[in-house]
Structure 1
């Protein structure tokens, strides 16, 4: 082995999809992965948080109770009530609150040690949550308006008869395909891309810090940028939990609206 090979670091390998596929038990499609474990951990943390902050409810709330009530009030009044309407919103608040908190905690795992892996960066989790929303908003719409009335309402009244088939087909694609696909991909794409960027900055910075010449200077700058990226990623993680819950409420509100 040459002296250069012994001193210089090995060739840099950029991050990829393998950084999200971390099987703990088994292998293949049915493997129990780190993302699955984090999802279970998030459920335990959420249960502990809700139990700890609400078991001793008081007229003058503690800081924990105040925080829980603030999050609940935000989802209840700022999302559910505004988008579904005051007549129908209450029965959907538990679902929307659960979605928001679950997604938020799992997104924050992307930057919080020792987890540092966003669960929603695995496409299966956004798909599962989207399927729940998909079934709910179609089910409540059909239940309220009837099967025929629900699908008939996809076509706005007053259209020329010649345009009705085309508009119905386009609206059907939107309801059955475009909405669920974009809902899942938006959450997955943001979490996947953000985590890849974080790994790239951290590992790339470390590689340059251990290289010769002027590369350590760029490595230091890269790690400073990593801190900035972390703050930006925190914002994106909160925003994506909000956007997913907002769109879920919007779809449910459209399905149960009287004019649907």
Structure 2
């Protein structure tokens, strides 16, 4: 999670962006790379094992697996894409939700303690997949020129307004939406982990380096760290949900007959 950095004279130097730059474990392989691969193994292995012997009265493992699948299928994909078109996209939405969730929760697991999505490259890669899928679905549904008409010229708008609206809609669909999808989860994981570092390392500094009078204050830092940990856990789950929800929403908008 990062070592305490002390300047000369024992003054506390708070953590910053450099705290997220981790040295390679071996070769050019870094901890976040290992965690991404590990998360894919964890998600795949869990659902294979949990659904290997399906029962009418599910075990706890089967119940959790079915809950995540049902939630991704009906509460995200079906509601955002529509009952007519959602089924082909359920595997993608389910994978995005569970994959992002596990990578976010890595930030709370002892020893690991690093949310992979706090490295912008990983959210960008996932956003690129969503980008290709929802635009590909739109082109397949409406045709090449029909899709541009669909996203840039919504019906019911006075024609002179299209001069301003068309480029805005184009930039929104082809640039701003996918960028915001990646930045949203990255910023939340980066900021949350940075806050945890501040209070944990601050409490450690007060406990080990401060005067005897100030050492009890370290308890406040640790208490804030515990409180932020619970808040961060909630945010990590919400961000995984929001990422999958927005991905499904973009697909649904691309496939819709109206704007």
Give, in angstroms, the shift of residue 17 of structure 1.
Answer: 1.8
Q: Please give the per-residue CA displacement for 1:167-218, whole angstroms capped at 9, x wherever unaligned.
A: 1101001011110111111100000000011111101001111211432122
Structure 2 unaligned regions, length at least 5: 1-7
Aligned pairs for 1:1-260 (under 5 A) are 10-25=10-25, 31-154=28-151, 155-210=153-208, 211-260=210-259
TM-score if structure 1 supplies the norm length?
0.92
Instruction: Work out whether residues 136 and 252 of structure 1, in 8 Å CA contact, stay in contact via their aligned partners in 2.
Output: yes
Q: How far apart are the structure 2 equivalents of 1:111 and 1:66?
A: 24
Q: How far apart are the structure 2 equivalents of 1:159 and 1:47?
A: 47
Give, in angstroms, the shift of residue 124 of structure 1.
Answer: 0.1
TM-score if structure 2 supplies the norm length?
0.92
The equivalent of 1:5 in structure 2 is none
Structure 1 unaligned regions, length at least 5: 1-7
Check 1:9–1:233 CA distance in 2 against 1; reply closer, same or farther (3 A cut).
Answer: farther
Check 1:35–1:167 CA distance in 2 against 1; reply closer, same or farther (3 A cut).
Answer: same
Aligned length: 250
Give, in angstroms, the shift of residue 148 of structure 1.
Answer: 0.6
Runs of 4+ in 1 over 6 A off after TM superposition: none
Secondary structure at the counterpart of residue 23 of structure 1: coil
| Structure 1 stretch displaced more, 147-156 or 93-102 | 147-156
Q: Please give the per-residue CA displacement for 1:71-127, whole angstroms capped at 9, x wherever unaligned.
A: 110110100111111010011000000000000000000011121000000000000
Instruction: Work out whether residues 25 and 31 of structure 2, in 8 Å CA contact, stay in contact via their aligned partners in 1.
Output: no
